[in-house]
Structures are given as C-alpha cells and as structure tokens.
Structure 1
Amino acid sequence: MLIYPQLLPSIFSLLLFLPIATSYQHNESYHPKDHCFIKFGLSKFDQSLEWRSDEDFLVDPPSAVAANTSATAVGVKSPYDKARMFRATVTYSIPVNSSGPKLVRLYLYPPTSTIYNPVIDTSTSSLNLIINGFQVLRNFSAYLVASNANANPNTTAQVSNGLVREIYVTVAEERDHSKKSINLTFSPSSPNGFGFINSVEIISVPQWLYINRSSDNPQQVLYLEGGPPGYVLDPYDFPNSLAMENVIRLNVGGYTVDPSQDTGIDRTWYNDVNFVRSFDGTPSYTAIHNSSTHIPYTVLAPNLVYSTMRMMGPYIKRLKKNMTWEFEVDNGFNYLVRLHFCELDPTFFNNINRRLFSIYINNQMAWQNMDVLRVAGGLYIPIHTDFVILVNETSSRSRVLLSVTLIPDFDTHYADALLNGLEIFKLSSTSGSLAAPNPAPSKSMIQAPISTQTPAKSKHLPLIIGSILGATLVSLLIFVCLIIIYRRNKKQQKYVSTTTTEKSSKLKWILPLYDSASSTVTTASVASKLPSDLCRYFTLAQIKAATRDFDKDLIIGTGGFGKVYKGTFDDGNTTVAIKRLNSTSKQGAHEFQTEIEMLSRLRHVHLVSLIGYCEDFGEMILVYEYMPNGTLRDHLLYKHNPQISHTSLSWKQRLMICLGSARGLHYLHAGAKHLIIHRDVKSTNILLDEKWTAKVSDFGLSKVGPDHTEAGATYVSTAVKGSAGYLDPEYYRCHQLTEKSDVYSFGVVLFEVLCARAAVNPNLPKQQANLAIWARSHYKKGTLHTIVDPNLTGQIAPESLRKFGEIANMCVRDRGIERPSMGDVVWGLEFALQLQETAEDNNIANGTPDESFDLSISYLSAIDVGFTDNDISTNSGDNFSQSSVVEGTSKKFMDSNSKSTTSSSSDYLAHSKPGSVFSEITHPTAR
C-alpha cells in the first residue's frame, strides 16, 4: 500500500496517537533471569563462579571433539585470554532458567599467530555457527572483519579490545516443560580448516525490549521497502521465528557508555563521532542538562544516553544543512533502526512545534515534522521510534551503506534537529540466516598467486613473439606521450613559478595531496590574499626584498634552525613570517623537505599554513602567514619574548586555544589516509593569530604513520626525537612512535596552560622539576587547584577545572594504550568549556559576579579526594567512556551534587608527530 506524499502530514498526525514512539518506565533496574559467561578452552579445574568452562556444556562425547584443541592468548585480558580451535563439528547446549528473548554475545580476538600458545594463525581460520537453528556465521573470518574495521571509517565492527558479535534469539516455551536451552553448533568452514571462539555470554532481556507483541501495548513499526522518497508502506509485522544481530549501538552526542553503566543488560553504547558524515563544516553541539532534573528510568537505554544529544546549532537555518550518520551493512537484509529521543532544552517548556525535523532512512522518509516535545509529552521524557528497512542494492557489493538523516524544517523559528541514541539490528532472512560474506581483504593482504604452470611449448613461439612486438609498440607510444606531457608541465611551471634566471628548486611545485573537504572543519572562513591551492615558490631576490635583505630589526624569533623574520609581499599588503635555516644548523635538508611536503598537503583551520619556500643558492627558507599573537608560551608569562605584547590569557581563552590545538592534532591523526604524528607538540609550536585562533606548527620532524585503510603495524620504529619535558616515556623506552606520543605531549601542554610554568625546570626541587609528574601527583591527591596559575584566580569554575584535570592526567599516563585518542581529548575539552560557560551563566542568573569561583579545598575535596587511577578503567586507551571520564567521574557528574551532566562530542580525530627542526616559529598563520 503506497501513500501519496501530499497525504503524509495527515497520516503522520494520526501516527502520533499510535505508540510508535514509546517510553517504558520502571522503578528499579532490570535484573536478568539468565546471565552466563562461558570461556572456551578453559579447563574444568580452572573455572570460577563467574566463568564456566565450555566442557560443562558439551553435547557430543569427548571422543567427538578430540580434534578441537584449546589455546591461550598470551598477554591478552579476559574474555579473550582463552580460545577453542574447532577442527570438527561440535555442539554445546547451555541451559537457561526461562523462555523468551536472549542476547548471545560472541567474543573473538582476531590477531594472528604469535598471540596464541600453541601458535595458531587466525588469519586462516573460518567458522560456521548455528544458534537454535539460525545460521549465524558461515565461513566467518574474524581476521578479515577486524582488518576491514581498522581500515573503513563506516564499519560497524568494534575491535578496540576484541571483536564482539551480539545475537538476539528467542527461547520458545516448551509444551512438555522440558529443559530450556540455547544450542550452539560450531564447525570449521572447510574439511582441513579450523574455526575459533574465545568466549560466549548469554543474558536474558525483557520480552518487550525489541519485539513487543503485547495486545495491551502493541509495537508499531513502519516498513520502508526502498521506494521513492515520501512513500511509506504498511506497519511491519515481525515473524514468529526471528533472530537479529546488533549492527551498532550509539550514544549520540556523548562518550561511549561502558557495559557496567547499562541498564542491567551489559550493552556498550559507542560514541557516534566515527559515523557522523554531513555537517559540512558546521559544528555539532551536545546539550547540557541539569542532573537535578529526573529522567524516568527505562531499560531501553541508560540515562547517560538520554541525558546527552547531538543537535545542529544556531547556524543551521542560515546554512540549510542536515545531520547524517552512515553505516556499512550487509546487503540483502531487513534492518530494524531504533532512534532514541529526549528533549533536554528547558527553553522549550510547553513550546511545541518549535523544533521540527524530518527523519529519512536511506533517503526514505520515515517521519515528517517530528516534534520530540509533542510526542513525548514534555521535557526529560525518553521515547524511541522503530523502523524496518530493506537494504537490497542491485550491485555486486556485499557491503553497502545505510544512512540515517535528520533534516530540520527551515520554515520554523528554531530550525534544528536532535538525536540521543541509535540502534541498528540485522534481521534474519526467511531461511533463518544471518550469515553474510566476509569483507574483501585489504590491498596489503592480497598476494599474487605463484604460478605452477610449466613453460610454454615451442608451438606457442609465434604467439609469444607477436605479444612482445605489440607490447613494444604500446610502450613506445606511452613513452612519447609522457615526453609531451613532461614538456608541457615544465613550461607551465616555468611560467607560474618565476621569471628570474637564478637557480631553480628541486621542489618547485608540490600539489596538495589532501583535499580540504577531508577536514571536518574547513578553512573557508579563513581569508588569505595569497594562493592556497599550491605551495608557492619564491626566489631569493623576492625573499631579500621582503625582509630588507634580512634586516636584524625584522627578526621575530630564533631557534636551533636559525631565525624568523617578519616580511611583506604585494607592495606591503601581505605580511608573512620567513624562516631562514642557518647553514650551521643540525636541522638540514631532510627536515626542510619534510616541512614542505607535510604543510603543502594539509588543510585545516587549526594548522599553520605554508605559503611557499625558497631553495636558491643553497638557501633553505620557508614562508608562512604571519601570526601576530606569537606562541602560546609567550602568553603564559613565564618566559618573556620582547617581540610580543604579552597578555595574560583568561581561562576561557586558554580553553579555546587548547581545544583548537586538539582539533588540529586530531585532523593530523585521523583526517587523512595515513596517520601523521607530530612528535614535537609543545606550547612554542602552538601559534595564535589576530583572533587568538590556535594553530599547530612545526612539521619538520613529523612522521607518516600506518595506513588507515590497511591492517598492519600500529607504530613507527624510529629514533627518539622531541623536546625535554614533552617526550613520551614509552616512546623513549621502546623507540615505537604512535599517535599516543602526541597525546602525551599535549597533556603536558594542558598542565602548562593550567599552571603557567615550564615543562622542565631544573632549578626547582627534584619532585617539582618535571611538570607532568608534579601536576599529576597533585591531581591524584585532589590538590590540583593549589598549583593553578595565580592569574586565573576567581576565573575557573570547579567543574571545568575538574574535567580539564581529568583530561590532562589521562593524556600523560605512562602507557600509550591507557591514554585517550585526540578525538576523545577534543570531546573532553569541549565538555570542560561547556561546564565553564554553564557555570558562568548560572552566576549571572544568580546575580553574582562573573569572576567569583572558589577553588577552596573544602569544595574540591568533595569531588577529588580519594579519586585515584585505581578508580579509572584502562580497558581502552582510545575512549573516555572506558576511562576516568566514565568510570571514575561520570557517576559523580550525574548525581544530584553536580550542576552539569552532559558532555560534548567531537567530529575530530587525531595523530601526532615530532618536530624540533622548526620549533620556535613565532609568527606563521593558516591560510
């Protein structure tokens, strides 16, 4: 039954009276009737109250599984520390206490070879699995799935610690009251192959959680079959026999929610930043709501999900943008898409039809003019909507994209959209299968087959000769074409680069390798009178004219590389910073070329931009746009620079500078195909333009890290370089450089900003000489407020200081795996800024002065004393959700004593790299 578009408003008005958007409220947490952890490969003699051995549930006699051996994953934590290798079919029967829906979680650790003892190569494994008659896995390769997840930004597989597959099945009520069970049948996909599994978790869920057949409150789900936009089909009826697989579960606009913070079902709600696609440079916002406002409990999602949301902000009406998430899914299946909403903005009280937006799933209209406040019936009331869509593209690809798009009604006064949470489930086919082909192997995994054919016989000699002659003619034609192209390009370069007869450069024109669109924040708003599409070449004569033959009065900075001069081009209309490499400097041609290659292909509002270079007559000179406010260190007032008018930065200015710098580093780490590791992040390499916008500079020692799109090493083995006090201790010990080395250096910068003192001061007592160690000790003791820069007295809201301290403390952890990613650092700093702004707004509303915050021990002791690293989970080094932000503090943020509860998320990710060659540039700026 197709519905014409012009009838949609009336139809959706009627749908509002149906429970398609529903909220289940309960007074106490959900307690599952069944919750069993099974570790495969665990001996019966080693099992505990928590972990059961798989041997307890074998259906087949031991003789049938003699070929199925166990192994231990060396250096890997539970539940991935044991494994069972299946070289023959085996069935397990796990008894359960009740009928009804269950979640079956499969845990697999996919790295290869040396991780297991005895040694096995999981890259060659393939597994079949049937759960209660449903084909869940067929020829499944955990290794290929994990490799695709590491290479593909749209993938929904989460492999930070290991691979998890979550299956929803229903245990039927037996008429003869026989023992209820979940049956798992494992087998290798080939007679001579093997499969493996680490652990299985079984947990019961409420009957109505995902499929509600209750006659009192029937579930209404719209079915979107894939017709033209605006056409909606009949409500979807779930079949009686159904299995589902969780594709993704997101806490939209907030940090990852750990299983221990779920509603009793131990689900993980991931941060959504990797899936947001179409903000087109427009920032996303997260609402801050007061924790004293009660959100009714619901098993559907934890309050941490409903108390944060992503919306589009006040500029959307002018820009007319939308908000889209994209996910890679298996082709040829129906998908249940569940969206969670909760209106948190108190200005919307009793003001319906103010925030209206339409929901599209794969470009199919699912809901027109959605008004969360109207559907929910008020503020702080959680609701959800369910849709089923068939994804069946007529292409040969086995993996395709599924999109969720929110489009504001731009005719309303407040054009915006919001979303709090999102879940996607793949539904089993009519044949009872959830299995799909493995992802294609990445390029690095594909090897040319070795030929086993015998040499061609003499009767094929004419064919061989003809082929050789043909190939020769083709090669000759290609050679001629290349010569023509080369000569044409050389003429163009000669025309656009210089008209002088001085020595030409080997590096004449370096084209940008990354388009500006690859950056989440574009540079469209950054005006420049100089060319931004190419790296410009300057002659030595032009450089001398710009600097009055290197007049010493124009020197604005010095360093190990040489001197930086203030110069002008275009008849004095364009001011630049010109860095001239000293011929005696240890920083030579390699660093010079690295700086040019890096900066000419990077485009981001928070990275310093290279205008051009000069390589005439043995000179090595770089030209940047001028940064009138110098370096960040210049304004921390502990080292005087006579070239800069020094100003003590306010706390909000410092937060904005730290946030901008983090975004720039995040772009380096995740904004391109390869990681770019800065390796020399410090306050002198953070420059400030005329609007106090922070820009990361100095890329002379940067390193290109592993390819994002390919599996392999996660670090770069290299000699240790960096600056004292900022150097990652793990990098120093192991000579293995990762993006987390940048995170450590940035953590030192955060403490430097807070305390206004050098990273290393040998004149201080030993316990105070190293800033990171000294500040972290104060943080652990809850006395961080006692070492804050005195210039900030009365400016810092305690909540903001606490969040800022958490971020800095986590960044400078000794082990890289325990540090957050730069994307998470961006999120944390956004949160700290929002906490500061909220506290200031509250002060103004209460009639108190703006600068009236008290960081007394009596206040902070209630927050920080007793809070140590032991309270912080280190299960993931890449997400605040499993770090102090979540386990150590989020509970305290969300309680009634906290003024602000929600957090901001970021669309940025980042890596880092060293750079001591051009460390002390004082005045470059971005294009």
Structure 2
Amino acid sequence: MNQHTVSIAWLLLCFLNTCISATDIPTCITGDVSINSGSVGTSSAPNGREWVGDVKPKLPSFLQLKGSSTTSTAIHKLISADPVPHDTARISLSQFSYAFLLNPGQKIIRLHFNPSPYRGFRGLRDLFTVEAGPFTLLSNFSASLTADVLGLKSFAKEFCLNIRENEQLILTFSPVTSPSRGSTYAFINGIEIISVPAGLSYFDGRDTGIQVVGQKSVVHVDHNTALEIVHRLSIKPNPVLSAGDFDGVFPTWAMIKANKSRNDTWNLPVDVGFRYLTRLHFSEVGLKIAGNSDVVFKVLINEIIAQTNIDITKESVENSIPRYMDYMVMMRGHKREGKRDILISLLSYDELIDGRGLLAGIEVFKLSNPDNSLASPNPLPPQLDSPSWIIQILLSVLGRTNEMTTFAVTMLALVNIIVHKLREIWEACSSEEKNKPSARAERLCLRFSLAEIRLATRNFSDALFIGRGGFGKVYKGLIDKGQTTVAVKRLKSNSRQGAHEFLTEIENFLNSDMLM
C-alpha cells in the first residue's frame, strides 16, 4: 500500500468520525417543545398539539435524559382530562432530570401533573422538589395534596425564566428522602416550553424598574429572576386574551365576570412572603372608546392608590396586543401563613366606559426570592375539617429538618393531653358505675328529684327532724300526697364514700329476707 492510498484512507476515516460525532451533538430547537413523559413516539392531543415521547432510544436530538427513572401508566384513566399527556409519566424513587438545548429568550415552562396511582408505585406517596437550573420551582411538593385542595384530577404549574445563548435548560426532579417519611417518588406527565413573544416581555429590561405599590422603592425584574404564573384572568366580555396572538402562549385564560357597577374589585389569593408583578391588560375596544374622550381612572392595589389620573390614550397599541401596565406588590409574612388576597380595584370616572369595558385581563406573577426559590408549602384546604388537612400540615412540618425537634415536642404534648383527658373520662365513668345501685334496687326503689324531697320534708324542716345516722341527719317526709310516711337521710356534703356505703346498706336490705 503506497503513501497516497494511506492518506486517502486516513481522510475517509476522519470524515466518517466527524459525521458520527456530529450525530451525537444535541441540536438546538428554535420552536416550542411539548414532551409527553413516559410515552413512545408522537402523540396528538385533542386540541391538535403534537407531543413527543421521551422513551429511549427515540429521544429528540434537543433532549437528554439524566439519572435513574422509569416510565409508568396511570392505573385509573381520567375522564375529565385529556389522555395526552396525562396517561403516562416518567417516575422514579431517585433523582432524574431533563436537559433541553433551546434558542435563547424568555420561556414559559408548563409542568403537567396527574397524581393518579401508577403501576409499580401504588401505595407510595409523591413528595419531591423541582429545580430549573439555579431556581427552585417547587419544594417538598405533593401533587396529590395540591389536586385534592384544587378539586382537580390533573393540573399544570407554569413558570417563566430567561434562557441565555448556548445555555441548557435542566429540569431536575428529586424525591424528598428521609427515614421518617419512608419511600417517596417524583414524577412528571408532560412538559411544555413556549417562547414568549417580544411584545409580552415579563422582564422589564429597563433601568428604572417597577415601583412597589405604597412605597418609593423599585424592583428590577431582570434575567436573574424566575417567575411563577399565579393568575391569568380574562374579564368578560373581552375574549381578546384567549385568541389571536395569544394562542400557543396562553391557550386558556380563566374567565371572570366583572361587576355591573363602574367600580370593580378582584380578590386574587397569593402566597405570602413573596413579591408579585401585577399586570393589567387594557382592551383595544376600550382604548378606541377612550380615544374619543378623556377617560381618567384610578387603580388601587390592596386599597392603596397605585396610579391615578391616567390618560391611556397617549400610547398607541402595537401589533393588536392590548397595552398593559405593571405594578409591584409586596406580600410580607412567613410562608407558613398560607395565602392572602391581592385586592385589585379599577375606578372609572367617565360615563362612557367603565372598568369592564376598559380592562381586558389581569396577570399576577410570583417573583423568586433572593435565594432563587419560588417554592411555598403545600396548600391547606379551605376548611380544617377536611380529612387531609392533618396530613398536609405534617408534610409541611416534615419538609424542614431543622424543625423536627419542635414537631416531636408538639406531638408528645398532644399525646400527653389526649391521655390526660381519657383518664379523666375513665375516672368519671368508673365513679358513676361504682355509685350506681343494682338492677334489683332500681326496680324496687323510687327516685325523687331534689325539689320533691324538699317538698316532702318542708325543706328539711327542724320540726321533721327525727334523728342522726352515721352519714347525716334523718328527717320524716310525706309522699304520695301525704299518704305515705318515709325517712329521708340528708348526707353530708362531699361525702362520696358515705353515698357509696349508704347505697350498699340499701342493697343489703333489698337482698335480705325481710323482702321475701
């Protein structure tokens, strides 16, 4: 073999190696992503969206699976939810993750959960943490408890964050492990990743920031912040927010009715201990009407004036997307306090248009804390008499190892109180049983009320006093309308032992031959 032939062979080998290596490099996806976890191939949802399975070796080139996990199918088929992506799940007793290679920009991450029993995991409980890169989205999270509180069989959690150039989005699912909890698992049914249109940017990108309602401070919502979409409401009769340019980004907006008055208020529950970006969308129809008249209105948030004397016709509407205004709200408090309402009020001073015609929708976003966390405790039911509230409180407490001592002391105190109360009840029942006459005595003895005894003895008159017994004075009494004379012994006060011995005397008397 000459040198020329060797050179050609070497070039062909290098080219082949390059081709093989190129097939191993993940391909960056520029469109939206819909992953049907635990399924094979491509599936179509009833709304026409195509979902891609995550089962190897047919993984899409932009996706990598890491860690140990398996696939499973829900035991109970859902009737109210779409089978895609709720019938199958990726599930594990240990940590696993998805790694996506995406084009840069703002992304909405929608996580779908169907907390049904799964084959191979029946009898275990779901309790896990979800992380997206440096951000903690959910911590000590139970999808089953959340679904019970919401009254749903399946639900989705939505988040928003920014993806930088050549940056992978890594979603990590980690079961909460502890000897006191037993085996727990993490699971996911579906993952959607949707690019946010430039006109709807949730990151201000400005130096001024967003002013906090009721304060002089501002908050910068930059790319180092993650958001959770808490509320997305379309106000009837404004359907613009569920159609047109919003399809794919927001397939559904919760529809709410506004009041018939010009002053409208919406109460939106949120977790305490976080900052919230509140965005008000204004309808194009309302803007056109307002353009012909100087509409002035007032926005109040938590009963504090957020903005007043606003002329909304100064800025034009671009790309048929309603203009919006952003406000920052601080909901101070400890996360354990649960939820409180953000009150949003819109007061219109114009006769031509009211809040219902002017306002098209409301969005509320939770901002990640300085520790890069969006996690809150599992929600509590609205009524504490729900059977699951105790479990939820226990899970919330057990989710924090530094409070195990407090929990143990609380449980011991609770057990001590229960034992003490049971002992008091037992002693009271035992005393009543001891002082109770036999069945024969109850048949042969008449019972009188204290009022009847006082009447028979003229309120224990000294004139009717006939002697003194071992446990008290004896009086003559008249019963049966004065036809029958009896002896009434008045026991000494607080003489429980005397009462017992007196009843014993009656018992012995009734069992003697004198009654034969």
CA distance in structure 2 between the aligned counterparts of 1:163 and 1:213, rounded to whole angstroms: 29
SS of the aligned residue for 2:246 comes to coil
Which of residues 107, 120, 125 is equivalent to 1:102?
Answer: 107
From 49, 63, 68, the equivalent of 1:65 is 68
Residue 433 of structure 1 aligns to a residue whose secondary structure is coil
| Matching residue of 2:85 | 79
1:201 matches 2:188: no
CA apart distance, 1:59: 4.5
Separation of aligned partners in 2, 1:224 and 1:461: 52
Mapped pair 1:421 → 2:409: no
Structure 1 residues 772-795: Cα deviation after superposition (integer angstroms, max 9, x where no partner): xxxxxxxxxxxxxxxxxxxxxxxx
Read off the aligned partner of 1:99 and give its amino acid letter: P
- What pairs up with 1:3-152 in 2 under 5 angstroms? 33-43=30-40, 50-53=51-54, 55=56, 56=59, 57-60=63-66, 64-65=67-68, 68-72=70-74, 74-76=76-78, 77-96=83-102, 98-110=103-115, 112-113=116-117, 116-117=118-119, 120=122, 124-150=125-151
Letter in 1 for 2:126: S
Q: Partner amino acid for 1:148?
A: V
Number of residue pairs the alignment of both structures matches = 358
Amino acid aligned to 2:173:
F
Q: Is the 8 A contact 2:335 2:377 kept in 1?
A: no
Q: What does residue 177 of structure 2 align with?
A: 190
Question: In the aligned structure 2, how far is the partner of 1:255 from the partner of 1:42?
Answer: 38
What pairs up with 1:722-761 in 2 under 5 angstroms? none
**Cα offset, 1:433, TM superposition:** 0.5
Partners of 2:133 and 2:170 within 8 A in 1 = yes
**TM-fit CA distance, 1:221:** 5.1
Aligned match for 2:161, one of 169, 194, 211:
169
Indicate if the aligned counterparts of 1:125 and 1:194 stay in contact, CA closer than 8 A: yes
Equivalent residue for 2:220, pick from 237, 248, 258: 237
Task: From the superposition, tell whether residues 369 and 88 of structure 1 become closer, same or farther in structure 2 (CA, over 3 Å).
Answer: same
Q: C-alpha separation between the residues in 1 aligned to 2:286 and 2:389? A: 55
What is the TM-score normalised by the length of structure 1? 0.35
Match of 2:324 among 360, 363, 384: 384
Instruction: Please report the TM-score for the alignment, with normalisation by the length of structure 2.
Output: 0.60
Indicate the residue corresponding to 1:332 in structure 2.
273
Match of 2:345 among 381, 400, 405: 405
Aligned counterpart, 1:307 = none
The one-letter code matched in structure 1 to 2:122 is I
Equivalents in 1 of 2:421, 2:343: separation in Å? 56
Question: 1 CA distance for matches of 2:76 and 2:254?
Answer: 29
Q: Point out the structure with max Rg over C-alpha.
A: 2
More strand by share: 2
- Residue 389 (structure 1) shift: 1.2
Shift of 1:222: 3.4
Q: Is the 8 A contact 1:343 1:372 kept in 2?
A: no
Retained in 1: the 8 A contact 2:136–2:374? Answer: yes
Q: Offset of 1:187 from its aligned partner? A: 1.1
Measure how far apart 1:210 and its partner are: 2.3
Question: 3-state DSSP class of the match of 2:337?
Answer: coil
Residue pair 1:103, 1:202 contacting (<8 A) in 2 also:
yes
Offset at residue 234 of structure 1 (A): 4.1
Alignment-mate amino acid for residue 201 of structure 1: E
Give the counterpart letter for 1:34 in structure 2: G
Q: Which amino acid letter does the alignment assign opposite residue 387 of structure 1?
A: Y
Q: Distance in 1 between matches of 2:247 and 2:390?
A: 50
Alpha-carbon deviation of 1:190? 2.6
Q: Is the 8 A contact 2:242 2:250 kept in 1?
A: yes
Contact 2:296 2:311 in 1 (8 A): yes
Task: Specify whether residues 396 and 140 from structure 1 end up closer, same or farther in structure 2 by C-alpha distance, changes over 3 A only.
Answer: closer
Q: 1:100 touches 1:207 (CA, 8 Å); kept in 2?
A: no
1:326: Cα distance to partner? 1.2
CA gap 1:120/1:207 in 2 versus in 1, 3 angstroms: farther
Query: 1:272/1:381 Cα in 2 relative to 1: closer, same or farther (>3 Å)?
Result: closer
Matches of 2:111 and 2:421 in 1, distance apart? Answer: 59
Q: For 1:129 and 1:377, locate their aligned partners in 2 and report how far apart those are by CA, in whole Å.
A: 38
Matches of 2:274 and 2:137, distance apart in 1:
13
Distance 1:347 1:271, change over 3 A: same
Q: Does the 8 Å CA contact 1:130/1:186 hold for their aligned counterparts?
A: yes
Query: CA 1:181/1:256 → structure 2, altered by over 3 Å: closer, same or farther?
Result: farther
Matches within 5 A, 1:509-520: none
Per-residue deviation, residues 560-602 of structure 1 (Å, max 9, x unmatched) = xxxxxxxxxxxxxxxxxxxxxxxxxxxxxxxxxxxxxxxxxxx
Q: Give the partner amino acid of 2:159.
A: I
Partners in 2 of 1:130 and 1:350 — Cα distance?
Answer: 46
| CA distance in 2: counterparts of 1:415 and 1:444, whole angstroms | 44
| Contact preservation (8 Å) 1:326, 1:401 | yes
C-alpha separation between the residues in 1 aligned to 2:246 and 2:160? 17
Match of residue 282, structure 2, among 341, 346, 350: 341
Q: Which amino acid aligns with 2:72?
A: S
How many Å apart are 1:382 and its aligned residue? 2.7
Structure 2: gaps (5+ residues): 1-28, 45-49, 392-410, 433-516
The offset of 1:406, in angstroms, is: 0.9
Matches within 5 A, 1:285-300: none
Q: Secondary structure at the match of 2:39?
A: coil
**Retained in 2: the 8 A contact 1:127–1:140?**
yes
Deviation readout 1:31-65 (Å, 9 max, x if unpaired): x933111122124x6779741315434443xxx51
Return the offset for 1:463.
10
Distance 1:118 1:212, change over 3 A: closer
CA drift of 1:325 comes to 0.9
- SS of equivalent residue, structure 1 residue 272: strand
1:99 Cα offset (Å): 1.5
Taking a change above 3 Å as real, the CA distance of residues 349 and 251 of structure 1, as seen in their structure-2 partners, is: closer
Distance 1:400 1:259 in 2: 27
Counting aligned pairs with the same residue, the percent is 25
C-alpha spacing 1:408/1:47, structure 2 compared with 1 (3 Å): closer
Q: 1:256 to 1:121 in 2, by over 3 A?
A: farther
SS, match of residue 42 in structure 1: coil
Deviation per CA, 1:398-457, whole angstroms, max 9, x where unpaired? 211112111233xx55583331111111111111001110112453323889xx99xx9x
Could you say what the CA RMSD is over the residues aligned between the two structures, in angstroms? 4.0
Q: Secondary structure at the match of 1:440?
A: coil
Alignment match, 2:388: 446
SS of equivalent residue, structure 2 residue 379 = coil
In structure 2, the partner of 1:432 is 372
Give the letter for the 1:237 counterpart.
H
Could you list the per-position Cα deviations for residues 211-244 of structure 1 after superposition, in whole angstroms to 9, with x for gaps in the alignment?
4555xxx48653225xxxxx44244322441111
Gap change, CA 1:371 and 1:73, over 3 Å in 2:
farther
Question: Relative to 1, partners in 2 of residues 1:118 and 1:396: Cα closer, same or farther, differing over 3 Å?
Answer: closer
Instruction: Please give the alpha-carbon distance, in whole angstroms, between the structure 2 residues aligned to 1:446 and 1:50.
Output: 34
1:256-267 alignment, distance < 5 Å: 262-267=245-250
Structure 1 residues 250 and 467 mapped into 2: Cα distance closer, same or farther (>3 Å)?
same
Amino acid aligned to 1:33: T
Deviation by residue 1:678-714 (Cα, 9 ceiling, x = unmatched): xxxxxxxxxxxxxxxxxxxxxxxxxxxxxxxxxxxxx
CA distance in 1, matches of 2:42, 2:361: 40
- CA drift of 1:392 comes to 1.2
Aligned AA (2:171): L
